[in-house]
Amino acid sequence: MSSPLATLVLALSLLIPAAALAQRTAPAVAAIIAEGALALEEMRFGDALEAFTKAVVTVPGDPSLWFGKGLAAFLLGQNDEAETSFTRALKLNPRFSQASAHLGELQYHSGRVADAIATYEAALTYAPGERALIERLDDWRRSSRFSERLYESRGSHFRVLFEGPADDAIARRAVEFLEAAYWRVGTALTVYPPASITVVLYTIQQFRDITRAPAWSGGLYDGQIRVAVKGALDHPEDLERLLSHEFVHAVVAQVGGRNVPFWLNEGFATALEPGGVEWASSVLAGASGRLGLEQLHQSFGRLQGEAVVMAYAESALAVRRLIDMRGASAVVALLRALQQGERFESAFHQRLAMRYEDFLAMLRR
């Protein structure tokens, strides 16, 4: 486990039993806490949420247990449950910086930037030298100042924000593309997000400064769709692909939570964008090797150059193959199982009637 998430989960899994023992917790409760910590370490977030829910009922005064419950809920995409738990942890211990960090991120990604800023400002009164909090807070203040001067164009399911009248034509075109994607993707997956989705249009430099996305990225979804739109009207097909791609990420987040492997998430987005499967097929037709999905469970942000292109192409064709073999409804059922906290390999086997290792072997042939 080498990702930042895995490092945090492992640290928490070690912290929580220590806290319980320090309170001389009854053996039965200590066993529940240990079960939750192990589930976090193994990324079985549904089991972790169940265990920590039991634990906080018995030991309601331990902020680390509320944080454990909040982290499990956060990783499952259960935002209301996560916010309640992080808030409770901070009431018990206002110095709990990890609870502040996750609460602020949750608020920011749900579009509540002012709340996120207030959460981090409060955290910095207890940890004034916390570099990660300071840098993130600076990003959010910059984003907030940028958002204050934006204009708005609305569709039935999207709210598009843009900098000024000069971008009005791009914004209206973006609304058209997004509404078309809403119905096209919804028909393919039988999933229609009920709430309006906010979309922010940036110049390339604004996108880099505010999102800190990799240099090769032109868009992202973090609770809002954020895209760089240089030359959008000269190449509307590129804008359509980009917006469609990020909209699919919004759908995957709502259906599957935060525990979806990156290859599955990016594969859905690429396979369902206009021309995505054809593009992926052409990339792999000229490739001399493969990365393999087993290397693509974590963020693609660590990849560079040709490896980025290969990762997206392999992921798209893997998802396309799953849909062709089992149908879109089965793959959506896999996402829903992940949102409920099932382990990926088990959920894959149960929902797709195939072991994950057998699918990997199939792709290698």
Q: Render pLDDT for 182-192 as a digit per residue (tens, 0 to 9).
A: 999 999 999 99
Query: What is the rounded CA–CA span in Å between residue 208 and residue 229?
Result: 12
The more confidently predicted of residues 225 and 167 is 225
User: Domains in the chain, ordered, with CATH?
Assistant: 4-139 (1.25.40.10), 151-246 (3.40.30.160), 262-364 (no CATH)
pLDDT digits (tens, 9 = 90+) for 197-251: 999 998 888 888 888 888 888 899 988 999 998 777 778 899 999 999 999 999 9
Tokens of 91: 């009431």
Among residues 143, 137, 134, the alpha carbon closest in space to that of 220 is found at 143
Q: What is the mean pLDDT of residues 13-39?
A: 64
| Whether residue 29 has pLDDT greater than 80 | no
CA triple 114-116-118, angle to 5 deg = 70
Task: For residue 213, give both structure tokens.
Answer: 């996305």
What integer best gives the mean pLDDT of the chain? 87
Q: Is the pLDDT of residue 18 over 70?
A: no
Could you give the maximum distance between any two Cα atoms of the chain, in Å?
67
